[in-house]
């Protein structure tokens, strides 16, 4: 009993079903099962007996855990059936962060919802016993109640669901910026340590830029993907050839915008089982590549110089074998996945003259790839 009260931070008279359930789940299931009868008697002595349905559901759940047949979903569902545990994922797909990953706002909102649900239990609006026996109508009402709370503004005008999502977005962006800054510093270190710095092949750049301008004026793939990567759907192309080439090369490593939706139709969005177009698949692949993989691949090419094979398969191997990033030994499936992502990359590199028709790194690619990555990862000018 003392453990339950300490775990809940409440006296025995105020402990809820959720408090007891969380305390039971905090210890090995065998220990919890042995302690269950004594805990029930202690709760009765404290004048807070809870209900027969709760104790039976607790015994059944703990027994399933001990037998190794309970799933994570089973345990979560039982915890939610206490009547005051927020649903982990609501019908509208709002998902609470895990307890150890909640920021201040998520922690506050979670606590507010728990308090709100406790009030609803006291008022009789929530029936924990019906939830414990799996009553679908009670479960539906429980879900609807939480959905309404999450979408209803608080007195300070914050909408709980939006407040939590905004905080998660901010944390994600902050982590992304930190990872990007580290990758940029490592890239500069690696390039600075090269025995010979790549020199700009002026003629190759002129030829590649002229070809690129012609390509970008065309409809369809790959022009639409390259325009989206560089953000040229929303701004004019620069007149300077080097600026144009670097903008597109950097965009491949960090796409600036999405594809234009002018040609999309409603049926394409409704067909969730349909295959992605070549353009969408290419852009999705570019966005899926992590900073570490870009760093490892481009660092390897920079060290080896022009003339090295830069095929998708070779890029996957270079990344897997890189000592510039922390990576465990990759399985064949991981290599295949990386190769698949870089299939789009190497294809687009070919249009910029970064690799030749045999997927071999050119002098232009040797000079331009590190600069393109640096541009993609550098903060925008003030």
Same domain, 40 and 123: yes
For 144-166, what is the mean pLDDT? 96
Q: Is residue 62 part of a domain?
A: yes
For the chain, how many structural domains are there in total? Answer: 2
Residues 135 and 38 occupy one common structural domain? yes
Q: Of 336, 342, 366, nearest to 354 (Cα)?
A: 366
In a domain, 168, yes or no: no
The answer to the question of residue 265 being in a domain is no
Chain-wide mean pLDDT for the chain?
91
**Dihedral angle sign, alpha carbons of residues 255, 256, 259, 261:** positive
**Average pLDDT rounded to a whole number, residues 46-51:** 92
Q: Is residue 176 part of a domain?
A: no
The sign of the CA dihedral 216, 218, 223, 226 is: positive
Instruction: Output 76-79 pairs: Cβ under 8 A, ≥24 positions apart.
Output: 78/21, 79/18, 79/21, 79/22, 79/25
Q: Tell me: do 136 and 198 sit in the same domain.
A: no
Do 16 and 136 reside in the same domain of the chain?
yes
For 34, half-sphere exposure in the C-beta direction (CA atoms, 13 angstrom radius) is 5
Whether 42 contacts 5, CB under 8 Å: no
Indicate whether 87 and 230 sit together in one domain.
Answer: no
Let me know whether 203 and 322 are in one domain. Answer: yes
Q: What's the pTM?
A: 0.71
Distance CA 286, CA 282 (A): 6
Same domain, 130 and 251: no
Cis amide linkage into residue 19, ω under 30° from 0: no
Residue 175 lies in a domain: no
353 shares a domain with 209: yes
pLDDT in tens, 55-70: 999 999 999 999 999 9
**Residue 214 pLDDT greater than 90, yes or no:** yes
Cα–Cα distance list, 2 to 51, 59, 316, 378 (Å): 20, 20, 56, 55
Domain that residue 342 falls in: 194-259+277-377
Whether residue 15 sits in one domain with residue 79: yes
- Same domain membership, residue 310 and residue 217: yes
User: For 324-347, how does the pLDDT look when each residue is reduced to its tens digit (9 = 90+)?
Assistant: 887 655 566 788 999 999 999 999
Phi-psi region of 102 (alpha: psi -120 to 50; beta: other; left: phi over 0): beta
For residues 230 and 367, membership in a common domain is answered with yes
């Amino acid at each position: 009993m003392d453990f339950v009260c300490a775990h809940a931070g409440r006296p025995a008279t105020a402990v809820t079903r959720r408090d007891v359930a969380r305390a039971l789940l905090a210890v090995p299931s065998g220990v919890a099962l042995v302690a269950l009868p004594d805990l029930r008697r202690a709760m009765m002595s404290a004048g807070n007996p809870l209900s027969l349905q709760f104790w039976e559901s607790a015994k059944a759940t703990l027994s399933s855990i001990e037998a190794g047949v309970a799933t994570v979903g089973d345990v979560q569902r039982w915890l939610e059936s206490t009547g005051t545990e927020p649903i982990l994922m609501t019908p509208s797909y709002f998902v609470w962060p895990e307890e150890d990953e909640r920021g201040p706002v998520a922690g506050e909102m979670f606590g507010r919802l728990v308090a709100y649900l406790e009030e609803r239990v006291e008022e009789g609006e929530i029936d924990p016993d019906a939830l414990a026996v799996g009553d679908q109508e009670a479960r539906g009402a429980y879900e609807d109640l939480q959905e309404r709370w999450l979408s209803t503004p608080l007195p300070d005008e914050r909408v709980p669901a939006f407040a939590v999502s905004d905080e998660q977005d901010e944390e994600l962006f902050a982590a992304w910026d930190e990872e990007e800054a580290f990758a940029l510093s490592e890239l500069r270190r690696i390039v600075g340590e090269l025995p010979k710095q790549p020199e700009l092949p002026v003629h190759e750049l002129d030829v590649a830029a002229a070809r690129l301008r012609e390509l970008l004026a065309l409809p369809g793939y790959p022009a639409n993907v390259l325009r989206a990567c560089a953000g040229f759907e929303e701004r004019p192309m620069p007149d300077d050839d080097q600026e144009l080439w670097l903008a597109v090369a950097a965009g491949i490593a960090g796409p600036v915008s999405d594809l234009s939706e002018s040609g999309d139709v409603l049926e394409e969005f409704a067909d969730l089982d349909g295959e992605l177009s070549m353009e969408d698949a290419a852009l999705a692949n570019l966005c899926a590549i992590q900073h570490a993989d870009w760093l490892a691949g481009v660092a390897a090419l920079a060290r080896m110089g022009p003339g090295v094979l830069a095929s998708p398969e070779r890029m996957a191997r270079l990344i897997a074998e890189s000592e510039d990033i922390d990576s465990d030994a990759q399985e064949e499936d991981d290599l295949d996945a990386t190769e698949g992502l870089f299939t789009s990359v190497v294809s687009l590199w070919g249009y910029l003259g970064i690799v030749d028709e045999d997927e071999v790194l050119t002098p232009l690619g040797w000079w331009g790839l590190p600069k393109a990555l640096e541009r993609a990862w550098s903060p925008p000018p003030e």
